[in-house]
């Protein structure tokens, strides 16, 4: 009996040790990934409670694709398309460094009316984008071979963001989106488009170390 108890204790200690090593490895990989990837070089203009910031963003070079489905399905589908592009499915078959965050927003279309307005795409699509490394320009960036990928450069913009950790569930993302919208309403700040969900970390990063954000472009007349 005593021998059996010792065997169970030994097995339990080994399982615990393996689990601990796995957690520490994931922690190290997640921390390393956060430190290695290039992120947007924005300027913080104003801070508020709940990790809310108003930021000034420079022009950003994006590779983006529009996909359909729910938020998670669209993110996974688009990630595969864009990852293939940066891993060499381009001309001249050059690998492009991964950056952060990956962004996702409801796709929009331009209505051909006077005045010109924007409205959500009827397809219920999502625009998912990778920021390109700052060493590239529109002229020097490798050209995607997949016609679904669009390369574009954004204008300088003021944006408002709320930063939070945790898993990328609809509940978590929507809770912080609603919190940010409530703050914007209190401050009289007007969004210039749909919410953008930003994901900074991969699946190997422990959920409590993940950096997620909800971001809105600010209308010019409401920006500070």
Residue 52 has pLDDT above 90, yes or no: yes
Average pLDDT over residues 164-184: 96
pLDDT of residue 139: 97
Residue 117 has pLDDT above 60, yes or no: no
Token duo for residue 212: 């997620």
Q: What are phi and psi of 28, to 5 degrees?
A: -65, -45
**Residues 96-112 pLDDT 10s:** 999 999 999 998 653 43
Q: Which residue has the higher pLDDT, 1 or 31?
A: 1
From residue 69, give the alpha-carbon distance in Å to each of 12, 72, 177, 194: 43, 8, 20, 17
CA distance 106 to 195: 7
Confidence of residue 220 (pLDDT cuts 50, 70, 90): confident
pLDDT of residue 203: 82
CA distance 150 to 19: 42
């Amino acid at each position: 009996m005593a021998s059996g108890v010792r065997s169970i204790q030994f097995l339990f200690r080994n399982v615990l040790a393996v689990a601990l090593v796995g957690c520490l490895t994931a922690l190290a990989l997640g921390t390393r990934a956060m430190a290695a990837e290039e992120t947007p070089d924005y300027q913080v203009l104003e801070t508020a409670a709940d990790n809310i910031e108003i930021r000034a963003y420079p022009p950003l070079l994006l590779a983006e694709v529009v996909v359909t489905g729910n938020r998670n399905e669209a993110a996974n589908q688009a990630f595969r398309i864009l990852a293939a592009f940066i891993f060499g499915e381009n001309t001249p078959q050059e690998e492009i460094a991964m950056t952060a965050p990956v962004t996702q927003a409801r796709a929009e279309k331009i209505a051909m009316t006077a005045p010109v307005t924007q409205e959500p795409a009827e397809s219920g699509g999502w625009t998912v984008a990778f920021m390109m490394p700052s060493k590239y320009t529109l002229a020097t960036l490798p050209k995607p071979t997949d016609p679904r990928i669009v390369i574009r450069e954004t204008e300088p913009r003021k944006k408002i963001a709320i930063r939070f950790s945790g898993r990328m569930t609809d509940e978590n993302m929507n809770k912080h989106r609603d919190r940010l919208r409530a703050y914007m309403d209190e401050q009289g700040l007007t969004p210039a488009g749909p919410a953008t969900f930003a994901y900074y970390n991969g699946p190997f990063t422990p959920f409590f170390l993940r950096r997620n954000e909800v971001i809105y472009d600010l209308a010019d007349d409401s920006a500070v």
